[in-house]
Each structure stands twice: as C-alpha cells, then as structure tokens.
Structure 1
Amino acid sequence: MVKAKCWLLGVLIAGLVTGCDQSGLELSVSHNTATPPAFVMQQGNDFVVEHGAIQLGLKPLIGGRVASLKYNGHELMKTQDPARNVLWGGVFWSSPQSDWGWPPIEAHDSKPYKVTVDADSLLFASQTDPRTGFKISKRFSVIPGSEALRFHYRIYNHSQETRSIAPWEITRLKPGGITLYPKGEEGYQSGIFYLLPVVERDGIVWQKYNMQNLQKDHHKLMADGSEGWLAYVNEGYLIIKQFEDVPVAKTAPGEGEIELFVGAERSSMELQQQGPLTSLKAGEYLEWDVVWHVHKVPEGIPLKEGSEALVSYIRDQVAKTALKP
C-alpha cells in the first residue's frame, strides 16, 4: 500500500528528512554539513557519486547497495533485475556465511539503510540484525586526482557475545570478460559447487568467462590471493578492487580471501573478496577499506589471458593509491 505522504527528497542542511517510494519504504537522510560534497547527487530516493568519468549509483532503500557503475555512460554492473530478486548489484556481508546460512541477512542485504551526508563523504547505516547482532555501515568517497572511489566499511557487534567475523564485499558485474588476481599460497576450493575453471600464468590466476566451459549449475572458486587486488576487464573497461592482503591463517573458516561465482542462470560474474577474521567483543567494531579503480583500458594493451601489459597497468594503478586516506 502506498503511503499518503510521499515526496522527492530535497536538501536539508544540518537536519533530517524522510520520504518514501511507491513501495512505502521510508528513507531517512541527515545532513552534517552546510556544504554537501560536490560529487554527491540525490535523485529521488537514490544517490549518485560522480567522479570524473565514473558514476556510482546507490540505492539506500535496497540494502544500501551499489546499483550501477558506469564509466562515460558504459555500464559495468549487473543492474537491478526483478526476476533475480536481490541477486544483482554490489553488497556487503559479514563472513563466515556459516553464521547465517542462506538467504542473506535482510538488514544488511535488502532492507533500508539510513543516510548521512558529510562534508567529504556519504554514509549508509543498516539496521542491527536481531539474530547476529551485527550492524553495518558503508562510507563512500572519492580520491582526488585519480579514477578511483574509496569504500570504508564497518561491522559493529551489538550482540552480548564475543564474535569472530570478517568483512565481505560482493560485486556482481555483467557476465563476460576476464577476471584476474595474483595467486596466493594455497590452491582452489569450490565448496558444494562446480569449480570455476581458471588458468595460471606467471603467478597470475586468469578466469575467462566462457559459457561453453560451464555446467548448467553454480560454479565457484575460493582461493588465497596476494598483492591485495582483484580485477575484471570486459568490453575494454576495467575495474580493479584494491584491499588489504589477508594471510591464509586469518581467512574466515570455510571461506576464501578471493571468491568468484557464476550462478546457473549465468546472469552475472561475481567478484568477491574478504578481509581478515577479527575477534570483536560486545560493543566493538571492525573497519575495512576497499578502493575501486575504474578505467577505460588504454589502446595497445592486449585484453587476453596472460597479458603482461594488462597486469603491469593494473599494478601501476594500485601502486598509486593508498588504501586509507
């Protein structure tokens, strides 16, 4: 049922506004600054972070998720798909999955987040999940002088117990292209699913998306990485996810630092990475930073498995950027 009072949100400085969409979900936005950041735009109940050629679309009413990632208008994400329910876009969960099973925790994955606009960032905060006691926040900002965005995550332990958890970012991109990352210490696992086929060349793991090489079922790869990056290139566009490298000993049980997933319907390519397993006492929180580099690959760089020029280009971008401000 549509609520009677519903409007497009305007800008209210140092105050609070609420509104609703046609589903009746309410959006809460507060402003802590007299000058909101120039890179943040509000479009109804959604937000856009715009940084040069990069546009990041965000939906706080649907799990605070990344709904779109464009470079000069070219879409890289698996965008909203009613037929796939919540299996689209980019989300952030707690790990290990054995803590909550399936489906994902609604408070973190699909329910509304509160929004706070600060002078240099945009903050989304979830509800506290009643079962685990975890609350999530996501802070979005840009890195001046680069083609990169910074994501600052927190997981709060509002339970009454000490809990061991790790941060987990899931990014669903358009199917196709090539995914690559530097190989770590251990081999590959796939849990209950088919193993996603990969090849190794000069210390880099390559996954070329080819439906002919896949069974009509789910495919997964869980592995250790190195160097702290995971990249995807498709149709000449590149996204690099930069993060803290995690030693095998600090990986959450039953999980991988790097995880790749292709569902049976083959509607997306999931790039996932996890941070270190952390012990949180009641009332404590963990922090985790991830940087997304988004580029149009320069002409002359071969976009194929084993491309040394592509690996060098990726490493150059990562070397330019500190994980933390």
Structure 2
Amino acid sequence: MEKIAYGGWANCVRLANDTIEVIVTLDVGPRIMRFGFIGQDNELKEIDQDLGQTGSHVHRFYGGHRLWHAPEEPVRTYWPDNAPVNVSPLPDGVRLTQPVEAATGLQKEIDLHLAPAAARVTVIHRLKNTNLWSVEFAPWALTMFAPGGIAILPLPPRGSHVGNLQPTAVLALWAYTDLSDPRWTWGQKYIWLKQDPARSTPQKIGASLPDGWLAYARSNHLFIKQFAYDAAAVYPDRGCNAEVFTNGEMLELETLGPLVRVEPGRAVTHSEVWQLFDDVPLPATEAAVERHVLPRLWR
C-alpha cells in the first residue's frame, strides 16, 4: 500500500504488482479511480470537472467504480459520497469505509484484494444498516469505463422449443431503451453494446445472468468482471443481477446482489472478480467471444 496524490486529490492509495495498479482516493468515496496496466491508460472513466473535488451536498459522479444501493431512487441512491473515507490495510489490499450516510443510515465499505502476480483484483462490497429498523435494499456495484469500447453480455444457455416451454431469463428495458439504436448488436448467445462518443442519448438494459460475467473490450484490452448468481434469490429491477448502460461519455458495467431486508446492525456483501488482458482482438462476434473471452474466465 503506497500513499500518493492522484487526480487532484492529495490523499490516495495505490496498490500494484508487476502488471497492474489500482488507485483509490481517500478524500471522497469509497471510489476506485484507476485500474489498468502499469504505464498504460486508465481503463476507467474519469470525469474531469469532478476530479479533486471534495465536500458539499451536491452529488458528483467522479468516474471510476462506486457502490450504490438498489433499487434506484433519487434521494437515497444519489446521496453524495463527498466525505473522506477511512482506510485499513489488509494482507493483500485495503479496506475503505465510508461514514454512515445521514439520509439513509447505511454505511458503504469496499475491500480490495490484489492478486500477487496476476492482472486480477477481488472487490468485496459491503452495505451495513445502522438504523434502528430493518431496510430492504440490494448492493449495486457500478464501473464506469473510458469511451470507445464495446460491452459483452452473455445470454443464458440456449435451447430448442421442445422441452423449454417456460421462460429462462429476464431482459429488463428502461423507458429510454431503444432496441433499434445501432450501438446494440443482438446475437443468439451474446448481446453487445458499443460506446460511441458521437451518440449522447443513453441506452440501458438489465438481465438475469446465471453465467455471472460481463466484459468490456477497448484498444486491444479486455476487462472481465465475474460475480455470483443465486437462482433462488429475488433481484431488483424485475430480476436483474447485471445491467449495462452507456451515453456519449462512458459505458458502465453494473452488477447487483439479491434484494433483501437487512436487520439493524447487519450487513450484506457483494463480490466481483476483475481481470484485465492485453493484446486481445476485439470480440465482436460470437465465435470471437468464445475464442477470446470464455477461456479467460477465472474459475
């Protein structure tokens, strides 16, 4: 753990091995502001006008990776995370703990565990209910990526009409979702969403993904995040454990834990495993996904 200045913030922490580095700010958050190969571009989106900012009751997106609670609600979800966070060292990483949110009584915490010799980090999200009453919510992890790439979302296993009379998956649409938008590519086994800086209108879908992964490919780099799916659980947004969103500035890969009622003093956790690969051809076809993405999933 190395303390550095980054992005206009004086108090940041850098984790690194010989391949990748992760940088978090301690001045706001919890936020992961950089993830990438050492000496190369940041895979994450940074919002220039928010960098280095602290304090105030104005919500800022900042960029990077954040933890929210779902379902999305204007007051609760967008409560600002503009205050300093506490950092605690872990044997292979750090723990970032936010002050209790005054408006919600919830407390956000993120643990980062960096692999010693691989381009891999485990991100454990924790939401604690400090109220005197129970609250229903789901942990929601959102990663904002730099523009110009393409997201890949795996559909559940396909089958024939015979023997498959009931629906096998959920696909959720928002009021602004336009399935005719050319940024979408709809395949038999996968869905692609392109980030196009020339198109500012937002697009989003949610899905139930039993395979538990999402990917983002950009500039011959491939980012994969993996996460759990519980078929017996209830998920927010009509049953989604994963969502993808884009506009003209960035693209987000979002994952969600089950929607549960959390008793006072208790917490829920939600984990992601991130991997980053170099020199990967753009997986823009189903054959390319199966050749370049599936073999790289971490088991």
RMSD after superposition: 2.4
Aligned residue for 1:310, secondary structure, equals helix
Alpha-carbon distance change, 77 to 145 in structure 1, aligned in 2, over 3 angstroms: same
Contact preservation (8 Å) 1:206, 1:306: no
Name the CA distance, whole Å, in 1 between partners of 2:149 and 2:62.
Answer: 19
Name the CA distance, whole Å, in 2 between partners of 1:191 and 1:135.
Answer: 31
- The aligned counterpart of 1:147 is 119
How far the C-alpha of 1:222 sits from its partner, in A, is 2.1
Alpha-carbon distance change, 80 to 52 in structure 1, aligned in 2, over 3 angstroms: farther
- The aligned counterpart of 1:49 is 15
Name the CA distance, whole Å, in 2 between partners of 1:262 and 1:133.
Answer: 30
Contact preservation (8 Å) 1:63, 1:110: yes
The structure 1 residue matched to 2:44, chosen from 72, 77, 91, is 77
How far the C-alpha of 1:256 sits from its partner, in A, is 3.1
Contact preservation (8 Å) 2:151, 2:214: yes
CA shift digits 1:222-246 (9 cap, x unpaired): 2222311110010001111111024
Contact preservation (8 Å) 2:262, 2:268: yes
Aligned residue for 1:98, secondary structure, equals coil
Tell me the percent identity: 21
How far the C-alpha of 1:309 sits from its partner, in A, is 3.7
Name the CA distance, whole Å, in 2 between partners of 1:128 and 1:174.
Answer: 30
How far the C-alpha of 1:171 sits from its partner, in A, is 0.8
1:200 and 2:179 aligned: no
- The aligned counterpart of 1:303 is 282
The structure 2 residue matched to 1:86, chosen from 49, 57, 61, is 61
Name the CA distance, whole Å, in 1 between partners of 2:132 and 2:118.
Answer: 42
1:96 and 2:71 aligned: yes
Contact preservation (8 Å) 2:190, 2:286: no
- The aligned counterpart of 1:289 is 271
- The aligned counterpart of 1:261 is 245
Alpha-carbon distance change, 202 to 73 in structure 1, aligned in 2, over 3 angstroms: farther
Alpha-carbon distance change, 179 to 79 in structure 1, aligned in 2, over 3 angstroms: same
Amino acid at match of 2:79: I
- The aligned counterpart of 1:245 is 229
Amino acid at match of 1:318: L
Contact preservation (8 Å) 1:117, 1:123: yes
Aligned residue for 1:155, secondary structure, equals strand
Amino acid at match of 1:270: E
Amino acid at match of 1:41: E
Normalising to structure 2: TM-score of the pair?
Answer: 0.81
After superposition, residues 31-42 of structure 1 pair within 5 angstroms as 40-42=1-3
Alpha-carbon distance change, 97 to 156 in structure 1, aligned in 2, over 3 angstroms: same
Name the CA distance, whole Å, in 2 between partners of 1:247 and 1:98.
Answer: 25
Alpha-carbon distance change, 310 to 218 in structure 1, aligned in 2, over 3 angstroms: closer
- The aligned counterpart of 2:133 is 161
Name the CA distance, whole Å, in 1 between partners of 2:185 and 2:103.
Answer: 40
How far the C-alpha of 1:126 sits from its partner, in A, is 0.5
Contact preservation (8 Å) 1:164, 1:278: yes
1:224 and 2:208 aligned: yes
1:180 and 2:152 aligned: yes
Aligned residue for 2:101, secondary structure, equals coil
- The aligned counterpart of 2:252 is 270
Does 130-139 or 64-73 show the bigger shift? 64-73
Name the CA distance, whole Å, in 1 between partners of 2:83 and 2:250.
Answer: 22
How far the C-alpha of 1:73 sits from its partner, in A, is 2.1
Name the CA distance, whole Å, in 1 between partners of 2:3 and 2:50.
Answer: 26
Alpha-carbon distance change, 205 to 99 in structure 1, aligned in 2, over 3 angstroms: same
In structure 2, stretches of 5+ residues that fail to align are 6-10, 52-59, 157-168
Aligned residue for 2:222, secondary structure, equals strand
Alpha-carbon distance change, 293 to 100 in structure 1, aligned in 2, over 3 angstroms: same
Contact preservation (8 Å) 1:258, 1:274: yes
Alpha-carbon distance change, 62 to 82 in structure 1, aligned in 2, over 3 angstroms: same
Amino acid at match of 2:25: K
In structure 1, stretches of 5+ residues that fail to align are 1-39, 321-325
Does 278-287 or 203-212 show the bigger shift? 203-212
Q: How many residue pairs align between the two structures?
A: 271
- The aligned counterpart of 2:56 is none
Amino acid at match of 1:236: N
Name the CA distance, whole Å, in 2 between partners of 1:143 and 1:258.
Answer: 24
Alpha-carbon distance change, 316 to 141 in structure 1, aligned in 2, over 3 angstroms: same
